[in-house]
Amino acid sequence: MNDSKQFNDLYAFVQVAKLGSFTQAAMALNVQPSALSHRMNDLEKRLKVKLLNRTTRSVSTTEAGQQLLERTAPMFNIIQQELHALSDYTDKMSGKIRINTPERPAFELIYPKINHFLVENPELELEVFINNRYCDIVAERFDFGVRSGQDVAQDMVAVRISKENTMTVVAAPRYINQFGMPKTLKELMYHRCIVNSFNPEYRLSEWEFIEKKQLTKIRVRESVVFNALVLVKQAVQDGLGIAWLPRTTVEKEIASGQLIEFFTDMNITYPPMHLYYAKNKHKTPAMLGLIELLRWKNEDKV
C-alpha cells in the first residue's frame, strides 16, 4: 500500500468524521463528495473495518471509527502546528509567543513595552496569561514565565526585567482622618487591612519589614481581601483600609497625595523580577526581540 495514499485517506477520514458531512469535508479538501465517499469506502476495505455510519442526512463514526478519530486527529493537529511554527524560523517578527506572568509585572513591566512592539510587528501573535500561581512553563507550553529572581528554577535562563521591588504601607487621607495612623508595626494588627490573595490557599496577610536590621513579620487582620492587585489599590484609595503594596504600584498616588505611606524606614526590598525560559528553548527572532525589549536596561542600578 502506498504510504502517502494511506496518510491522505486518514486525513480525509478525520475531516469527514469531525465535520459529520461528506459535502462539508469535500469542500474543505477541495474534492468532489462522490470521490471522497469512494475514498472512504476504499479505506474501510483496506482496514477491513467499518468506520462510518452513513444515512441520507448525516455521517457518524462507528465505535472503531471513533477510536481511530480520537487517536489520529491529535497527531494531525500536532503536524499542522509544527508546520505553522516553521514560520518562526524566518527573519520576520512573526509566530506566537506565550507568557505566563503574575498580575503586577503584566501591568507594570510587560504591557507598557509590548504596546508599541505589537503595533510595529503586526504578524506577531502574543498571549499574556496572568497567573499568580506557580506553574511549569514547559509542561504548560509557555515560552516565557515571569517571577522574582529568587523563585526561578536553576535549570532556567533568567533575564532581569525590573528594578528591585520595595514594599510600602499606604492609606488614604480619608482613612487616616477617620481611624488615625498606626504609630508602631504592632498597631497594624488593630486596623482594617486590605489583603491581596494570590490564590484561595494563600493570602498575603503576613507583612514583612526590616526593623533594627532584623526581619519582622506582622500578621494583619484580613478586613478586605481581593485576588487582584488593581482592586487592592482601588480599595485603599477609597479609604477602605491600609494596604501593603509594591511601591512602584502606588508611587504616582503617593506623589500626588492621594495616598500616604508610613514606616518607610522599615520597608523591605525583594529581588527584581525576571523573565525566564528553558535553557534548550529555541528562540525565534520575535522571542529574541521580546527579550531585549523587556530586559532591564540599568542593571547596575536598583
- The structure's pTM equals 0.64
What end-to-end distance do the CA atoms of the chain give, in Å?
67
pLDDT tier for residue 44 given thresholds of 50, 70 and 90: very high
C-alpha cell at 225: 481581601
* pLDDT value at residue 132: 83
22-35 confidence digits (pLDDT tens) = 988 888 888 998 89
* pLDDT value at residue 51: 92
For residues 111-123, give the mean pLDDT.
Answer: 88
Q: Per mean pLDDT, which of 77-91, 133-147, 210-224 is the most reliable?
A: 210-224
pLDDT tier for residue 187 given thresholds of 50, 70 and 90: very high
- From the list 117, 99, 112, the residue with the least C-alpha distance to 248 is 112
Contacts (Cβ under 8 Å, ≥6 apart) of 79: none
b/e string for 266-280 if b means 16 or more Cβ within 10 A? ebbeeebbbbbbbee
Q: Are 165 and 274 in contact (CB under 8 A)?
A: no
pLDDT tier for residue 300 given thresholds of 50, 70 and 90: very low
Strands 52-54 and 269-270: unpaired
pLDDT at 130 over 70: yes
pLDDT tier for residue 302 given thresholds of 50, 70 and 90: very low
| Mean of all residue pLDDT scores within the chain | 89
240-294 confidence digits (pLDDT tens) = 999 999 999 999 999 999 999 999 999 999 999 999 999 888 888 889 999 999 9
pLDDT at 301 over 70: no
Show the domains of the chain with their CATH numbers: 3-87 (1.10.10.10), 90-163+272-294 (3.40.190.10), 165-270 (3.40.190.290)
* pLDDT value at residue 119: 87
* pLDDT value at residue 121: 87
pLDDT at 85 over 90: no
pLDDT at 1 over 60: no
pLDDT at 166 over 50: yes
Amino acid at 145: G
